Structure 1
Amino acid sequence: MEIKDRIIAGAVELFTRYGVRSVSMDDIARQLSISKKTIYQYFKDKDEIVTMAVQAHLKRERKEYDEIFECSHDAVEELSKVCTCMRKDFKDMNPSLLFDLQKYHPNAWNVWLQFKNEHIKNQIVNNLKRGIKEGYFRKEIDPEFLATLRVEQVQLVFDKQIFPADRFDLKDTQMKLFDHFVHGVVTEKGKMLYMKYLEKEKTINQNSI
């Protein structure tokens, strides 16, 4: 891996775990066992690293979720696999991550907003339309409305005033909202299939440990 890519990868790991504001250039250098001078040979400042780290992280997430939607047999399997990915993605994520981007790094924040409002939202709309067509989701739901609601739910959990970290665990809260969303859209047939897929994913994960 080239040094620039190593710096971005190391920054992503630190930002995800500790938030953006609390991670300094010295921390990134120490994480990679390189000098801070070396970092400045590739990046003009921390803001540039943050922006590129967010771009790299979202690119990887896009690839991961695109693969889910390409290989799933139906809309319900898509949801079950998304559920599994969310558990992994939010497991060690710092609750202050999005707040730090919004307040201190507007360029990176805009990258996230574009990804949320375009790619994620479009995937949800497509999933809901597919599920309705397959008979697994309630035909009376409004895909555009629910997709908008869903992406805002994801972001809402990072708001410390609404979900303070000392009272709400980030991963658990995200999963509760996702579970509420799923059970609000599925038909009885869809619910049974969803639980079946979750059990299958659980067994696969247990066997892989």
Structure 2
Amino acid sequence: MPNLTLADASLEAALPIFYQHGLQAAPDALLAEALSTTVAKLNAQYPQRAGLVHHVMLADIERQKQEHLELYAQYPSAVERLYGLLQLGLRDLSTIPSQFYAELQTGFPKSWNAVMDHLASYSAPQLQQLLNDGIRNQLFRSDININLVSKILIEQINMLLNPQVFPPDRYNMAEVFRSIFLYYIRGICTDAGTRIAAEHFARL
């Protein structure tokens, strides 16, 4: 049986179990099976559920970063990359049960804070760089405030994940994501950027 570590990509295999059963209620037996280990070894390494949840979330963050590298290798323009990031986010959100982030926020504050820190230390600089690249290449409007637009995008993510703003039993989170982001990005594009966006979606 492998020794589960933070660097072990198999930790992500626990996510479907957490999605199906909940972070706290997910059975140890199913988690151990998904992670190709035993309940005894799983409990020995993670005697508290919070530790396992935290490492699983960190592993998922690393998975997202790797996907972003692959996305950048596929698409050359800032507009395509930005829409690609949004589409990856939309895909992930469509697989996540409505109560997942609410339980993460209330029951696992360390893991929730890690997600928020990731948004602040990785996602925000990533967005700022994309906006800068787009402006230099005349794909995004030159009069936009990069720091402000990046902040708005991050806060829109926070708003989307806040169950008090968008109760998951009333809203389809994938549709909320689309309504918040896709139309907003079109609004900051130049004519050239809008054409690239149209060509990008025509290829999908």
TM bracket (short chain): 0.7 to 0.9
Structure 1 window deviating more from structure 2 (61-70 vs 10-19): it is 10-19
Report the counterpart of residue 47 of structure 1 in structure 2. Answer: 50
Report the counterpart of residue 119 of structure 2 in structure 1. Answer: 116
* 1:68 matches 2:61: no
Counterpart CA distance in 1 for 2:143 and 2:182 is 19
Report the counterpart of residue 166 of structure 2 in structure 1. Answer: 163
Q: SS in structure 2 opposite 1:89?
A: helix
Cα 1:175–1:16, aligned 2, differ >3 Å: closer, same or farther? farther
User: How far has the Cα of 1:170 moved from its partner?
Assistant: 1.1
Q: SS in structure 1 opposite 2:23?
A: coil
User: How far has the Cα of 1:91 moved from its partner?
Assistant: 1.8
Cα 1:72–1:174, aligned 2, differ >3 Å: closer, same or farther? same
Cα 1:30–1:66, aligned 2, differ >3 Å: closer, same or farther? closer
* 1:12 matches 2:15: yes
The one-letter amino acid of 1:2's match is P
Deviation readout 1:26-79 (Å, 9 max, x if unpaired) = 542465686532311221210000000010000000111133235531111212
- On the 8 A contact 1:132/1:139 being kept in 2, the answer is yes
Counterpart CA distance in 2 for 1:22 and 1:172 is 28
Cα 1:22–1:156, aligned 2, differ >3 Å: closer, same or farther? farther
RMSD: 2.3
Q: SS in structure 2 opposite 1:91?
A: helix
Equivalences, count = 201
Structure 1: 5+ residue runs without aligned partners? 203-209
**Identity across matched positions, percent:** 20
- On the 8 A contact 2:94/2:174 being kept in 1, the answer is yes
TM-score (normalizing by structure 1) = 0.85
| Correspondent of 1:105 among 88, 108, 111 | 108
User: How far has the Cα of 1:87 moved from its partner?
Assistant: 3.1
User: How far has the Cα of 1:7 moved from its partner?
Assistant: 6.7
- On the 8 A contact 2:102/2:162 being kept in 1, the answer is yes
Residues 1-209 of structure 1 mapped to structure 2, 5 A cutoff? 2=2, 4=4, 5=8, 8-29=11-32, 35-200=38-203, 202=204
User: How far has the Cα of 1:184 moved from its partner?
Assistant: 2.2
Structure 1 window deviating more from structure 2 (36-45 vs 133-142): it is 36-45
TM-score (normalizing by structure 2) = 0.86
Counterpart CA distance in 2 for 1:18 and 1:95 is 12
User: How far has the Cα of 1:149 moved from its partner?
Assistant: 1.2
User: How far has the Cα of 1:92 moved from its partner?
Assistant: 1.1
Cα 1:170–1:197, aligned 2, differ >3 Å: closer, same or farther? same
Cα 1:6–1:29, aligned 2, differ >3 Å: closer, same or farther? farther
Q: SS in structure 1 opposite 2:62?
A: helix
Structure 2: 5+ residue runs without aligned partners? none
Structure 1 window deviating more from structure 2 (178-187 vs 115-124): it is 178-187
Q: SS in structure 2 opposite 1:166?
A: coil
Q: SS in structure 2 opposite 1:157?
A: helix
Q: SS in structure 2 opposite 1:118?
A: helix
